[in-house]
Amino acid sequence: MEKFRGVDYYGIDALLSEDERMVRDAIRDWVEAEYLPIVTEHHRQGTFPVALLPKLGELGVFGATLKGYGCAGLNNVAYGLIMQELERGDSGLRSAASVQSALVMYPIHAYGSDAQKERWLPALAAGTAVGCFGLTEPDHGSDPGGMKTRAARRGDAWILNGTKLWITNGSIADVALVWAKDAEDHEIYGYLVERGTPGFSTLDIHGKFSMRASITSELSLQDCRIPVVNRLPGVKGLKGPLSCLSQARYGIAWGAVGAAMACYDWALQYAQQRVQFGRPIASFQLVQQKLVWIVTEITKAQLLCLQLGRLKDEGKARAQQISMAKMNNVQIALDTARMARDILGAAGIVDEHPVIRHLMNLETVNTYEGTHDIHTLIIGRDITGCDAFGS
Ligand code: TGC
Ligand code: FAD
């Protein structure tokens, strides 16, 4: 296949600043040169290329919108374009950057003490330290407010007990941000648990058909004793973790466009080259219909992201608007990947082509950070004023 040409049916590039285009192009070039040549092997082996993290740190990917502590201080559109390009490589690569930036660095920056910021932000920004975010539990996924993990104060320490499941980068993390309820006031707080702390252990989840080039782990906390200063002082209640999710869902909305662009570009080129009945399959009306649907949906998703990013830069993006972009863009990316796989015929099921890998990854992206249906209910509650959740 020819080099990736980008997907820009509506001249959206012209709506980007020169700086935004430069950031996008730098990450695009890096993904082409450093990541795409190795991703298939990592996907086959079920491994994540940890050694690339410091290189991503040098590129300014981690905590890219944050100010100080070695972070790039970019705007939200540039950050979104970074997520788009990383996920054009693989959802697992974008996931690692999302978790590090939106789910670990953002809350430390927003809610941490000065000592916590100094301790973690420079190393996380450089990619020399890895973070993970422990919210989901075996019995509480979509309803994290029901979490069972508890923190009890004993003198100058917190004693944590509980289990977190499906945690990206869990076993390679130097620090886990674990959300737990204070046994006394029953409020949710964030606790920084360092790797190697007695009572803290991790176990990787195997047998995944999705997100194979990404580490997913269980975190176990059994009478895990951490210093009292390791609790984030700046936030309490479910809004703490949910505010982090808003940051990450924003990045996923852009990332999904990247995965869709990868599938579209590959399927289009394949259709132009593959000959059946004496002519390229791209000349058949039913194949064209699929490609037209895909490029139309990608264009709409690009515009959704861009306006959301501009709103976010003005401090006006609402959580429910972010839900809409995450829900829509992941859905169209998943449908795109399924159609692109169909266009490739039998070739669509092998990893020589990236489409099936994106398709399988997007099944996870559809579920994590709030399932498609949970986002439907978040928007439904917003527009009707009626709460359709369990209680
Ligand atoms: P609800 O009453 O809606 O909210 C409780 C408090 O939180 C505030 N809030 C938010 N604040 C900031 N950003 C948001 N997105 C917020 N959503 C809600 C809200 O205003 C309220 O504040 P206050 O001051 O009144 O207390 O709570 P609820 O229990 O009704 O929540 C319902 C629901 C379903 C929306 C929520 O629990 C939810 O979003 N569930 C989905 C869970 C989820 O997304 N988990 C993701 C885990 S992390 C992950 O998947 C990482 S994968 C990353 C990767 O690898 O890329
Ligand atoms: P459930 O909540 O059990 O949902 C199952 C089904 O029921 C879904 O279809 C859902 O939409 C539906 N459902 C649930 N409630 C309702 C309702 N009220 N109305 C209608 N339908 C409903 N979590 C973290 O904390 N940190 C991470 O780093 C992380 N990384 C992940 C990486 C991977 C690869 C995966 C697969 C997951 C990850 N997660 C992570 C967990 C993820 O956020 C959860 O899987 C997700 O929130 C859904 O929870 P659940 O799997 O328990 O599904």
DSSP 108-155: HHHH--HHHHHHHHHHHHHTSS-EEEE--BTTBSS-GGG---EEEEET
- Report if residue 2 sits inside a domain: no
Check residue 391 and give its pLDDT. 62
Query: How many Cα atoms occupy the beta-carbon half-sphere of 306 within 13 Å?
Result: 17
Q: pTM for this structure?
A: 0.98
Check residue 203 and give its pLDDT. 98
* Amino acid (1-letter code) at residue 322: I
Position of tokens 């009707």?
Answer: 384
For the domain that residue 293 is a member of, what is the CATH number? 1.20.140.10
Nearest ligand by distance to the CA of 248: 1
- Report if residue 390 sits inside a domain: no
In the reported structure, the alpha carbon of residue 340 is separated from the centroid of ligand 2 by a whole-number distance in angstroms of: 26
Is 142 near ligand 1, meaning CB less than 6 Å away? yes
Q: Are residues 331 and 259 in the same domain?
A: yes
Asked whether the beta carbons of 146 and 218 are under 8 A apart, the reply is no
The Cα 389–Cα 386 span in angstroms is 9
Closest ligand 2 atom to residue 211 Cα is 34
- Give 10-residue mean pLDDT values along the chain (391 residues): 90 98 98 98 98 98 98 98 98 98 98 98 98 98 98 97 98 98 98 98 98 98 98 98 98 98 98 98 98 98 98 98 98 98 98 98 98 98 93 62
Q: Is the four-CA dihedral 7, 9, 15, 18 of positive or negative sign? A: positive
Q: Are residues 378 and 330 in the same domain?
A: yes
- Give me the DSSP letters along 152-193: EEETTEEEEEEEEEEEETGGG-SEEEEEEEETTT--EEEEEE
Is 133 near ligand 2, meaning CB less than 6 Å away? yes
Q: Are residues 96 and 154 in the same domain?
A: no
Q: Are residues 254 and 365 in the same domain?
A: yes
Among residues 230, 253, 280, the one where a domain terminates is 230
Check residue 389 and give its pLDDT. 87
CA quadruple 127, 31, 168, 70: dihedral, nearest 10: 20
Please tell me which residue in 87, 218, 297, 369 is annotated as part of the active site.
Answer: 369
Q: Are residues 379 and 243 in the same domain?
A: yes
- Helix, strand, coil share (%) of the chain residues, nearest 5: 55, 15, 30
> 251: alpha, beta or left, given left = phi > 0 and alpha = psi -120 to 50?
alpha
Radius of gyration over every alpha carbon of the chain, rounded to an integer in angstroms: 21
Nearest ligand by distance to the CA of 253: 1
Check residue 1 and give its pLDDT. 83
- Report if residue 6 sits inside a domain: no
The Cα 320–Cα 375 span in angstroms is 8
Residue 318's contacts (CB-CB under 8 Å, 6 or more residues apart) are 382
Q: Are residues 172 and 144 in the same domain?
A: yes
Closest ligand 1 atom to residue 237 Cα is 26
For the domain that residue 61 is a member of, what is the CATH number? 1.10.540.10
Q: Are residues 204 and 292 in the same domain?
A: no
| Distances 336 to 212, 259, 262, 290, 346 between C-alpha atoms, Å | 20, 9, 10, 9, 17
Residue count of the chain: 391
Ligand 2 test: best mutation among 101, 130, 142, 379, most atoms within 8 Å of CB? 142
For the domain that residue 199 is a member of, what is the CATH number? 2.40.110.10
Check residue 23 and give its pLDDT. 98
Among residues 230, 255, 281, the one where a domain terminates is 230
Report the b/e string of 134-172 with b at 16+ CB within 10 A: bbbbeebbeebeebebbbeeeeebbbbbbbbbbbbbbbb
> 133: alpha, beta or left, given left = phi > 0 and alpha = psi -120 to 50?
beta
- Report if residue 5 sits inside a domain: no
- Report if residue 276 sits inside a domain: yes
Q: Are residues 320 and 280 in the same domain?
A: yes
Task: Provide the token pair at 106.
Answer: 């953002």
Among residues 126, 146, 164, the one where a domain terminates is 126
Q: What is the residue range of 220's domain?
A: 131-230
The Cα 247–Cα 208 span in angstroms is 26
Give me the number of domains the chain comprises.
3
pLDDT in tens, 105-143: 999 999 999 999 999 999 999 999 999 999 999 999 999
- Report if residue 7 sits inside a domain: no
Q: Are residues 147 and 168 in the same domain?
A: yes
- Report if residue 122 sits inside a domain: yes
Q: Are residues 379 and 337 in the same domain?
A: yes
Surface-to-core class of residue 283, CB atoms within 10 Å of its CB (0-12 exposed, 13-18 middle, 19+ buried):
middle
369 is catalytic: yes
In the reported structure, the alpha carbon of residue 372 is separated from the centroid of ligand 2 by a whole-number distance in angstroms of: 10
SS3 194: strand
Q: Are residues 158 and 201 in the same domain?
A: yes
pLDDT in tens, 173-223: 999 999 999 999 999 999 999 999 999 999 999 999 999 999 999 999 999
Is 179 near ligand 2, meaning CB less than 6 Å away? no
Backbone angles phi, psi at 275, to 5 degrees: -105, 130
Is 242 near ligand 2, meaning CB less than 6 Å away? no
- Report if residue 1 sits inside a domain: no
Surface-to-core class of residue 311, CB atoms within 10 Å of its CB (0-12 exposed, 13-18 middle, 19+ buried):
middle
Q: Are residues 30 and 92 in the same domain?
A: yes
